[in-house]
Structure 1
Amino acid sequence: MSWISQGETNEMRRFGFAVTFALATALAATSAAAQDRLLEVEAAMDESSITVTLPKPDERGVAARYLYVAQIETGVGSAATSVDRGAPLTTGILRFRRMGKKVVAELENTQFAAPDGSALQQASVTNSFPTATLWVGEISETAEDGSFSFDISSFLAMDHFGFAGQLGETYALSKEGSLADPSRVQVFPENAEFSAMLTFKAKQADASLRNVSPDGGTIALWVRHSLVKLPDEPMPVRTDPYGFAFSTYRYDFSAPLGESMLTKLAQRHRLEKTDPAAARSPVKEPIVFYVDGAAPEPVRQALIDGVGWWAQAFDEAGFVDAFRVEVLPENIDPLDMRYNVVNWVNRATRGWSYGPSIVDPRTGEILKGSVMLGSLRVRQDIMIFQALMGAGLTNTGDPNDPVAMALARIRQLGAHEVGHTLGLAHNFAGSSQERYSVMDYPAPRVELVDGRPSIANAYGVGVGEWDKFAIRYLYAARTDEEARTMVDEARERGLRFVSDADARGTSAANPHGSLWDDAADPVAELDRVLAVRRAALARFDVDAIPDGQDLPSLRRAFVPIWLLHRYQVEAAAKALGGMVTPHGLAGDSAQVETVSARTQQEALDVLLRALSPRELTVPDRLQPLLSYGPATDYDYSTTIEVIPTAGGPVFDSLRATEIGAVHVLDSLLDPQRLNRLEMQNAASPEIPSAHEVLGRLIFHADNLGGKGAVGRRIATTIALDLARTLQEGALSRSIAMQGEGQLARWAQELSRTRGRGVEADWRRGLGALLSDSERLAGALKDPALLPMVPPGSPIG
């Protein structure tokens, strides 16, 4: 085979409008001759066409097969859409089939297979499930040797990826504004690259997209299409039944009878020792990650440092010099399939960072890691730390310097996202065992030193014990049996694993795994964080923002301080109705455990304390400080981050009280949590029942009526949130009936209140509302009845 180099390509372009490229098709075909077929591409820049020539098809009409990869070349800049520069879109095996005068591009169905079956069984499985037809084109020419040509540009300019839906219901692809660019065709030794501009127009754009579009309604972006040579030798597969790694799911119809057909192919890089039998050995080809040069200093160096932590994990797993990190050279295309890249992505609003991989669907082999790091994350951290410590410490080198702590976080974030592109899943148990995994979401550890907040120990350094185990498990184990032995050893050492499904959402039950939490005892930690929050509110002042910044910015800086405890609330609530649910296989010693009654009672106590006026009263001195004009509705990125004002720029401190209450109630009144409590109480009466929880909550609310405006706001919020929960279908009807009975009895007591004054009138008014089922149902339909909690994730 011969390749046209990029230098030769550029030279050819100087002398004409057409350039021809050659790329091995890497067919998974039956004959050696098929492996030598070439793809020819002619980019006619004067006609805006890209003509592809494929070899003579086989007896099934298939002319070529490639790994097809699509990536976003230019993003939208809106965190809400996840349409970010560098993000992979589609990965699959794309085959081109000739049918008469047409050529069909279709994605193979790799989810169902019979790898160990006979040829007839494999054919049977293939013929039992559909492929996906992406495009049908016209064949323009057929040569004497049977090769044929067609213009692929219309295929490249289609919305195969559902962008219109991601952007919003009113967006549609503009065909006249969508086309492929022949001048951007590139060739590399094992991949050909094509680029197309897709244009979408909206009848009525969402505010988040009006915020980024030059004309408010039109979005144009570029998509990169890659046709990649399939690996000559597929990588040996490893399964991951525990879920420690990202997996490619495959249903194996050749599995022995009595065994599971579902196979989870662990995603991992091809990492081979030069001496496979040695415990420690250099590798044939190291894993290299490149940090986007667009990341500014000192962020770039922090990313290099943090991503580089993985070298230790590979070294301890026996792979010598197996991992390194470098800055991406300026002349390298970050979307080139040959390079693992940490992309620096800019958006109009802060949002998540991601660590996706491009994977061979047949084996789980990671062919390219493509990390997207949102540039506003580090700035959000600096804002939080300035609000905690004072902006005057910025860039001072002080142990509480906000910039130093934000860089500490960006090191951890770089390691976390690259960990995903090495194949590792989240482990949200890391914080429960003293930062033993970068694959957790770390809360900044804020401590009290002499009664004042300190962030000097905000984040850990280096990969943890779980991370080292996970790399060894994923890369050093040569068989599934070796991997299982490693898991047994890790369990004996006490290493925990809590997956996304076990940790996310207010209904999650495992107290060992939460997002943005800290410490081994989540209930005691909430008590500690509440004390830190009180100290942070006491010191919050105008120095929370840098000198010279507009004073309305204080409202944005205030929110993460006011809700400093938000994620520890969610973690503590998991103890209530909680169950430890380890991952295991049949024959393992893992045991499911219900959280003790004592711990559950302590969790209920601390959650009710978080609903007290002591915790939900905004200090009086902050009301004028947070009311500087103008209002913030002129800036979308600020408006979505702040507590609504009470007219113009006047800060609404009682709305802040309601928001704080709603956040606690979201976890406390989660229907699945209440259902679990009923089930656990039936088995162990000392565990609080759902009836007891609702009764204590009503009793707590009733006692708040006499504690001023803040107490009444909390009590009203409790009453309305409880009423709404009782009407939700997810709650057991027997529990809902108990709650309705308790609420009705409270409503009668409220309605019988005598006397005059604010408290008496409030009690009778609330009783009247709760007693009128029709009026209450109408009130609960109002989405503005209970406030929306400002966004929190990602907090850094």
Structure 2
Amino acid sequence: MTFRFGGTATAIALALAMGGMAPAVATAQSAPAGYSQSIEGLTRQDGLLTLFTDPASGKVLLQLPPAAEDGALARVIHHTALRTGVGSAITGLDRAQIGPTNILAFRRIGKRVLAEFENPRYRAPAGSADEQAAARDAFVGSTVWAGDVVATAPDGSVLVDISGFITRDAHGIVPTLAQAGQGSLSPVSDLTMVDASQAKAFPDNVELEARLTFSVNSPGPVLRQIAPDARLATFTVHHSFIRLPDDAYRPRPYDPRTGALSTVVTDFSAPLSDPIVSRLANRFRLVKTDPTAARSTVVEPIVFYVDRAAPEPIRSALVEGAMWWADAFERAGYIDAFRVEVLPEGGDPLDARYNVINWVNRATRSWSYGQSVVDPRTGEIVKGSVLLGSLRIRQDMLIFEGLVGEAENGAGGPNDPQQIALARIRQLSAHEVGHAIGLLHNFAASTQDRASVMDYPVPQIAVNGDRLDFHDAYAVGMGGWDRFAIDWLYADVPQAELDRRATAGAATWRFTSDPDARIGGDAQVWGSLWDNGSDPVAELDHLMQVRRVALNRFGLASMPTGAAVNDLRRRLVPIYLYHRYQVDAVAKLVGGVDYGYPVAGDGHEAATAVPAATQRAALQGLIATLSPAELDLPDPLLALLAAQQSGDSDPQHDIEVFASRQGRVFDAGSAAEAAADATLSALFAPQRVERLTDMGRRDPAALGLTETIDAVTTAVFAPAPGRLGEPARRVQARTALTLAGLLRSNRVSATTAAVVSDRLEALAGRLATSRASDPVQRAHDRWLGALLQDRERLDQLLEANRMETPTPPGSPIGAEACWHCSPAA
């Protein structure tokens, strides 16, 4: 990693010179009475701040320098990290997770030392001393701890017992678990203590650690499942104190077109011609050894270390994938500026000197994410941390085995599930490191020939007759967007040149980030998760072919010999719903709007609606996914899916299968409903139907809401012969109830509600007088028609969700998340 107050290489070299990975230590020498008595027998560690420790007694004393002119004894960057996590996706408390980053100031008032988190987001740096004081004093800070002064050294430095600061719930464990429904927690003082043996002082950072135990009132299901004693939850919380970077770093003003992460600041000393609220791009500091050269080596490279807990061959794949970024930095003018290595033996992944790709275990699959410790004053990144869920590659293996069959496993060819999964994990490593070095997602990259690792990649699969071909499943290396984003974020060029490059990049590359991609009703046509290609409708048709081929082959060949046949239920879900994310991409064309993040004068300011013909083609593509023939499953497979499992339940399996109304027997109808819901919920999201209403108002030739509803109901309620009648009826019910649900939403206008109500009344009238020849269909039609006409009863059913069948979780199917974005379920 890259500290600019000595540098990582310098800090590590000093540590190694003084005895491997251990900090510099010395026996405390005699000093004047009081102070000398306080440190007698303690081990002294000199570094950024001086520590006195005694692991036998658990004592940790911190020596703070004499007060500066502003009264602060010391000012550092502080953050926490979890040494031990819960091991559950639901709580989000993962091993190596970084907590909030703050500017921490220690101040002495009388006989006490206060620890205060300052508020640098509001300031007036270019103003007079009075202006600066007014900006500082106008906004609340947070005094988070106070401790008694143990002694004062002859030079005026202050000795304080830091235990109370370290043992408080600084990471927010109590509110996090409460919000996750895991119980009400209270600290147990007798079981909470500083671990003095883990206290370390280095030239540019101090590392401290504590064990926190909480009593749990009414523990939730996750704690009951995971904790040995759910009434007591123990965490090891790590604290890092980092030297403030010097003022040689040049903050980079943020540009919304470039895909950088940012820090928001409010500058009350800004000229009247400038906004007071601005953003600074988050990035590491890179300094060329030759500032005049277009291409140069650097004073301190960015180095990421791969957690030694990652096993081979995964560990090597993580190194290879993360190293792709070296190419982007080379193109931006930095030679050997980015490196990836395996963490040295004995190295602590939580030590602030290391940027680490952590390998994290959980009880069930979940997100991976990239985090950064950022100086909130400037946007400078001082530590990068990546958390990769270890079950992700297992889920990928399960999906690929379901697609191509287990017999290919270990064969070594392009269709070997192990090789495909390793290709995916390389991408994942690059993606999460991208967040840690300062980049947002770009969910439009997949529409421009896989232009970025910062998208969520779905494998490109060729269909050759009745076989699937994975030879080009995942892209390798940096995409064009990645090179552009790193060039803008890190290139050492004047601001005018940065502006020119941002304008050129925005004209070349599509960019869509989280706020315009994750919500089901999003309008941005190019921003989708797990999609492919520049023609979403064509890709959906292709994925439906992939799905057909896979389902036709699905069965015992999709699992290892000796595995429980009941596990087919779990393996079926991602194959049966393989099209679900491309459905989202196609739905965004309906009522879609093409817009970006322009700045005035770049020539791309105005948004445009998706052409009506494209919207209608998308609508027909979505309707095709509701065909009963696509949703039916053959009897031989249904016979296998009826198999049961004995023994204790496995939560990884239990939450990943289709629900059943038939008891323990597999319910094909519920699977059909889940697939239908994927399409209907995307198409009839409240935001989308509102846009359809508005587009119809503005352009009579546009696809409107009435036409959309009529096209869907006409197709869905068409007669379906024989065994296809039942999946058809499941889709029919889901369609009617989805539309009826809009009438209960507070997110639709009166006009939209009126259109939906009108079309439901027309549908109800047709169904109530059904004369279908099939008696089951006739009964179903008349029941559904009567339900739609009885709004009170319909509302009761919708309120209680009595007609709902839960859909198994989708993302993350090799998905990921980051600290700055909300996970998608």
Q: TM-score range by the shorter chain?
A: over 0.9
Partner of 1:777: 795
Q: Which of 10, 13, 21 is the matching residue for 2:45?
A: 21
| Contact persistence 1:292–1:341 (CA under 8 A) | yes
Give the drift of 1:167: 1.7
Partner of 1:28: none
Match of 2:679 in 1: 664
Q: Which amino acid aligns with 2:188?
A: K
Higher relative contact order (CA 8 A, sep 6+): 2
Aligned length: 780
Once the 2 structures are TM-superposed, how far is the Cα of residue 459 of structure 1 from its aligned partner?
0.5
- 62, 65, 71: which one pairs with 1:55? 65
- Is contact 1:552-1:631 (8 Å) kept? no
The match for 1:475 is: 490
Q: Which residue identity does 1:708 align to in structure 2?
A: G
Q: Residues 683-729 of structure 1: CA distance to partner in whole angstroms, max 9, x if unpaired?
A: 22221111221222333333257751111111011111111122111
Structure 1 residue 248 corresponds to structure 2 residue 263: yes
Residue 736 of structure 1 corresponds to 753
In structure 1, how many angstroms separate the alpha carbons of the residues matched to 2:205 and 2:43?
Answer: 16
- 1:376 corresponding residue in structure 2: 391
Deviations 1:445-502 (A, max 9, x none): 222012322222211100111111111111114343221100222244x211111111
Specify every segment of 5 or more residues in structure 1 that has no aligned partner in the other structure, as ranges.
Answer: 25-38
Aligned to 1:389: 404
Q: Which moved more, 1:405-414 or 1:695-704?
A: 695-704
The 8 Å contact of residues 64 and 96 in structure 1, kept in 2 or not, is answered as yes
Specify the alignment match of 2:36 in structure 1: none
1:526 aligns with 2:568: no
Counterpart-to-counterpart distance in 1, 2:618 and 2:514: 22
Letter in 2 for 1:367: V
Shift of 1:43: 2.0
Partner amino acid, structure 1, of 2:655: I
1:313 partner letter: A
| Aligned residue number for residue 725 of structure 1 | 742
Deviation at 1:21, TM superposition (A): 2.3
CA shift, 1:173, in A, is 3.1
* Residue 65, structure 1, aligned to residue 75, structure 2: yes
Query: Aligned ranges for residues 623-642 of structure 1 at < 5 Å?
Result: 623-630=638-645, 634-642=649-657
1:333 is matched with 348
In the aligned structure 1, how far is the partner of 2:701 from the partner of 2:401? 45
Partner of 1:450: 465
Tell me how far apart the structure 1 counterparts of residues 340 and 70 of structure 2 sit (CA, whole Å): 45
Matched, 1:75 2:85: yes
Note if contact 1:173-1:198 (Cα within 8 Å) is conserved in structure 2.
no
| Aligned partners of 1:473 and 1:483 also within 8 Å | yes
The residue number in structure 1 matching 2:818 is none
Structure 2 residue runs without a partner (length 5+): 1-5, 29-38, 815-825
> Structure 1: which amino acid aligns with 2:184?
Y
Q: Partner of 1:793 in structure 2?
A: 811
Query: Aligned partners of 1:524, 1:81: CA distance in 2, in Å?
Result: 39
3-state SS, counterpart of residue 485 of structure 2? helix
Aligned residue number for residue 590 of structure 2: 576
Query: 1:631·1:648 contact (CA, 8 Å) conserved in 2?
Result: no
CA drift of 1:60 comes to: 5.1
Alignment pair present for 1:89 and 2:104: no
Question: 1:510-549 maps to which residues of 2 (within 5 A)?
Answer: 510-549=524-563
CA shift, 1:441, in A, is 0.4
Checking the alignment, whether the CA contact within 8 Å between 1:662 and 1:717 is kept in structure 2 is: yes
Which residue matches 1:35? Answer: none
Aligned amino acid, residue 698 of structure 2 = A
* Larger mean Cα displacement after TM superposition, 719-728 or 594-603: 719-728
Q: 2:239 aligns with which of 204, 225, 250?
A: 225
Contact 1:70 1:226 in 2 (8 A): yes
The one-character-per-residue Cα deviations of 1:753-787 (angstroms, maximum 9, x if unpaired) are: 35882112111211221111111111001235212
Letter in 2 for 1:181: D
Separation in 2, partners of 1:181, 1:640: 38
Query: In structure 1, what is the Cα distance between the partners aligned to 2:41 and 2:809?
Result: 52
Task: Give the corresponding residue for 1:196.
Answer: 210
Asked if 1:44 corresponds to 2:54, the answer is: yes
Aligned to 1:488: 503
| Cα separation, partners in 2 of 1:154 and 1:374, compared to 1, 3 Å | same
- Deviation, 1:623, is 0.7
Match of 2:125 in 1: 115
SS of the residue 1:194 aligns to: strand
Pair 1:171 & 2:195 matched: no
Kindly state the Cα deviation for residue 537 of structure 1 after the two structures are TM-superposed: 0.7
TM-score (norm 2): 0.91
SS at match of 1:398: coil
Q: Distance in 1 between matches of 2:325 and 2:594?
A: 30
Task: For 1:211 and 1:637, locate their aligned partners in 2 and report how far apart those are by CA, in whole Å.
Answer: 12
Deviations along 1:523-560, one digit per CA (max 9) or x if unpaired, are: 11111111211111111111111111111111111100
How many Å separate the matches in 1 of 2:499 and 2:134? 33
Structure 2 counterpart of 1:134, from 128, 132, 144: 144
Q: What secondary structure is seen at the aligned counterpart in 2 of 1:23?
A: coil
Counterpart residue number, 2:731: 714
What SS class does the counterpart of residue 369 from structure 1 fall into? strand
Q: Is 1:555 paired with 2:565?
A: no
User: Is structure 2 residue 396 aligned with structure 1 residue 366?
Assistant: no
CA distance in 1 between partners of 2:318 and 2:69 (Å): 52
Q: Secondary structure at the match of 1:71?
A: strand
Contact 2:25–2:45 at 8 Å: present in 1 too?
Answer: no
Answer yes or no: is the 8 Å Cα contact 1:477–1:483 preserved in 2.
Answer: no
Structure 2 residue 783 is the aligned partner of structure 1 residue 765: yes
SS at structure 1 position matched to 2:252: coil
Residue 474 of structure 1 aligns to a residue whose secondary structure is: helix
Q: Are residues 1:415 and 2:430 paired?
A: yes
Contact 2:370–2:432 at 8 Å: present in 1 too?
A: yes
Percent sequence identity is 44
Please state how far the C-alpha of 1:88 moved relative to its aligned partner: 1.0
Q: What is the rounded CA distance, in whole Å, between the counterparts of 2:771 and 2:638 in structure 1?
A: 34
Q: Distance in 2 between matches of 1:793 and 1:509?
A: 20
**For the residues of structure 1 that align with 2:68 and 2:110, how far apart are their CA atoms?**
13
SS in 1 for 2:292: coil
Distance in 1 between the 2:749 and 2:41 partners? 70
Q: Distance in 2 between matches of 1:742 and 1:8?
A: 74
1:177-326 aligned at under 5 Å gives the runs: 177-242=191-256, 244-326=259-341
For the residue of structure 2 that corresponds to 1:314, the secondary structure is helix
- 1:30 aligns to what? none
CA, structure 1 residues 568+621, in 2 after alignment: closer, same or farther (shift >3 Å)? same
RMSD, aligned CA: 2.1
How far has the Cα of 1:59 moved from its partner?
6.0
| Gap change, CA 1:616 and 1:631, over 3 Å in 2 | farther
